[in-house]
Amino acid sequence: MLSAQRLAPLAVALLLVLAGCGAGPSDGTTTAPPETDASTATDTPASTDTATPGEAGTSDQEPLDTPADTTPDDGTPSDESDDGDETTAYDIQVENGTLPFDVNRTFARVQGLIGTDVEPRPVEIRNLSEWRGTLPRVAASPLNDALGYENVSVNWSEPSGLTRLTGYVYVHPGAGSAATVERVLAHEFAHTIQYQANMLPWLDRLRTRRIETDQAKVYRSLQEGGAVYVADAYTERYLDTETNSAFVRRQYEQGGATYRSALAPYLFGKQYVAHVIDSPADLSAVYRRYPRTTEQLIHNYTRAEEPEANLSVAATAPATDWQHRGDNTLGEMTTRHSLGTELSADRAAAAATGWGSDTLTVFQRADGTGGWVWVHRWDNSSEADEAFAALDDYQVARQTDGDRDFRTVRVSDETTALVIGPEPFVDAASVEGTTANVTVQIGS
C-alpha cells in the first residue's frame, strides 16, 4: 500500500478551489501536506487554498477556477469617509502598482478591530488569473468527476486576493470598485494577523500529520470564517458596499454544487464565528476550543453535544488487480455538496444533516483507475432511511450523467455504503458488517 506521505504531491494539484479556498473533492486519500507553507493540503474532497475573485483567499497555492464577485463598482472607499485625518505609523510596501486608498490605514483599522499588535507585511499587486492555468481543473480529479463536480469559469476582471503564511498579501484589483478592493484587502489583512499573531493552532500539524478531509474543512472554515467576520465589521464601519458574508451567501444560494462546495467554508465558518463571539476583538477565542467535525461547525454544536459516531471500516482487495490506497473521513459538508451535484440543495442538505460519521475507502489499479466505497453511519435509523433514499436517487442520476457505475448498500439500520467505480469494481465489491464495524472487500 502506498503511504499517505507518498501521495502528498497530489494534494496541491487535485483540489477544487473556489472563493479563496473552498473545496470540492479530489482523489480521496488523506495525505500529509507536502513541504510547503500551504495552510491546508489534502488529497481529498475538501479544502484548498487559492485566490478569490471578488472576495479573498488565503493560501500559498495557485488559483484554479473561482466564482467572481459581481459587486457593482459603486461602493465608497474609506478614503472618502469622515476619517481623512486618520494617521498610522505603518509604512507598508505596495509593490508592482498602487491602490486607490491608504493601505496603511486599512491595516491599522483591521488591527484595531482585532486588538492585536503585529507588524504588517508587503502587499503586491498581481494578476492572479495568470496562475489559473498552472493546475488541473476541478474535473481533472477522478473522484471529483465521479461525484459530479464540474469545472466552472471565472470572470477574472473582478478583484481577488490571497495571503501566504508569511503574511505577504497578493491583491488583484481587476475592474472592481475601490471599496470592493479595500474589502478584499481587509479580509487578507485579517489573515495576515491570524498568521502573525499565531492564532491558528493547527498550522504546524498540517505539515507533519495525516489530516482528514473533514478536519481540514473545519480548519479552513474557521480560518476563512474569522476573516469574513472581520471583513464584515470593517465594511459596516468604514465602507459603503456589500459585506463579505452577504456576497458569500448570495453566491452560495445562486450557485451550483461546485460553487456551494467552495463557498461553504466562508458561509458556515462565518456563521460559526458569529455564534461564539460578539466582536472581532475576541477573534482569538474562536481558536482555543473549536469544532472537530463539519457537522459541529455547520450546526453550532460543541464537541460534547454532537461527537462523531464510532465507525470502523476494514478494507481489502485479495487476489485482484485493485490496491487499497487508504481511507478518509469526508464529513457532513462534503456529503451535502456531493449529493447536491444531482439532488436539490434542500434535499441534499436534509439528507446530510443526519451524518454521524463516514469513511471513504480508496482503491486503485496499476493503470491509475480509481474505485471508492463511501460508508456512512447516520445518527439513527430514520436519518439513515432518509439518507439511503437520497443516495439511491443520487446514484441513479450519476449513472445516467457519468461513465462510472454506482451501487448503494444498506449495511445495517444506521449504516449505508455507496460503491463507485468501473462496473467490474462495483460488481466485485462486498460491503458487510454492523452499525459500527464494516468490512469492504473487492473480489473473493
Looking at residue 108, its amino acid is A
Structure-model confidence comparison of residues 81 and 309, the more confident one: 309
Q: What percent of the chain has pLDDT over 70?
A: 78
CB 53 within 8 A of CB 68: yes
CB 148 within 8 A of CB 342: yes
Exposure b/e, 139-157, CB count within 10 A at least 16 = b:
bebbbbbbbbbbebebebe
Describe the chain by its helix, strand, coil percentages, rounded to 5. Answer: 40, 15, 45
Q: Report the pLDDT value the prediction gives residue 81, as an integer from 0 to 100.
A: 42
pLDDT bin (cut points 50, 70, 90) of residue 401 is confident
Sign of CA dihedral 130, 132, 135, 136: negative
Quickly tell me which residue has 500539524 as its cell: 205
Residue 114's pLDDT band, with cuts at 50, 70 and 90, is very high
pLDDT at 210: 83
* Length of the chain in terms of residues written: 444
Strand intervals (E) in 310-436: 312-316, 322-328, 355-365, 370-378, 405-410, 415-421, 429-433
Q: What is the pLDDT of residues 262-292, one digit of tens each?
A: 999 999 999 999 999 999 999 999 999 999 9
Rg (CA), the chain: 22
| pLDDT given at position 237 | 98
Output the pLDDT for position 365: 95
In this predicted model, which residue has the larger pLDDT, 324 or 25?
Answer: 324
pLDDT over 60 at 319, yes or no: yes
Q: What is the largest CA-CA distance in the chain?
A: 77
For the whole model, what pTM was predicted? Answer: 0.85
Cβ-defined contacts of 289-293 (< 8 Å, 24+): 290/218, 290/222, 291/218, 291/222, 292/215, 292/218, 293/214, 293/215, 293/218, 293/331, 293/332
Please give the Cα distance from 444 to 431 (Å, whole number): 12
Output the nine-digit C-alpha cell for 152.
Answer: 466552472
